Amino acid sequence: MPTTEPRIDAYIEKSADFAKPILLHLRKLVHKACPDVNEAIKWSMPFFDYKGAALCNMAAFKEHCAFGFWKARLMKDPEKLFNKDGKNAMGQFNRIISLKDLPSDKILVTYIKEAAQLNEAAVKLPPKQKTPVKEISVPAALTVALKKNKKAQEVFEKFPPSHRKEYIQWITEAKTEATRDKRIKSAVEWISEGKGRNWKYERK
């Protein structure tokens, strides 16, 4: 008998009626393909772990279910099933609203076994490439004001991008020139003191 997690039993029981047979079927196939899998609840969803790493997970929503592999990026997907219709949904099989939306048991078992082999080989997901933070151009009026205050200019240049962005957005969002100039004056004063745009709300 497979080792099951009572919290997943409760999760399935609380799911919508249409979702219960889908979740039960997926759970059964995972255990069939990988008998030594361990069940767990992570991020409030049923997960299946193998060899100390996540293998796959499933979830039920109000109108659909989702199923996905943790290392899908490394899988071959010979049947070209992963999100084939281009719809945005969690997992790799889009919105699952009935058992008919799933591939055949034979195909799913093959996919689960491939995912298990990746865990057996201790293959890890490559780190995701960080998207570089795009610098927002500094308004000319702010640049001029900063040049007149050497200390403020030095502090502003050493600020992290997030701090600079907050000041720039605050100034560029001004609806009138008078409001913009008033904000620039306050900004230069606060920056020279090393304060971020939202310094009044920061924890001391």
Instruction: Look at residue 204 and tell me whether its pLDDT is greater than 50.
Output: no
- Number of separate helices (H) and strands (E) present in the chain: 7, 4
Q: Which fold has domain 6-120?
A: Aspartate Aminotransferase, domain 1 (3.90.1150)
Predicted structure pTM score: 0.62
Q: What is the pLDDT of residues 35-64, one digit of tens each?
A: 999 999 999 999 999 999 999 999 999 999
Residue 86: per-residue pLDDT: 44
Rounded CA-CA distance 18/25 in Å is 12
Helices 161-172/177-192 angle, 10° precision: 150
Give the pLDDT confidence of 156-200 residue by residue, as tens digits. 999 888 888 999 999 999 899 999 999 999 999 999 999 888 877
Confidence band (pLDDT; 50, 70, 90) for 146? very high
Query: Would you say residue 130 has pLDDT above 80?
Result: no
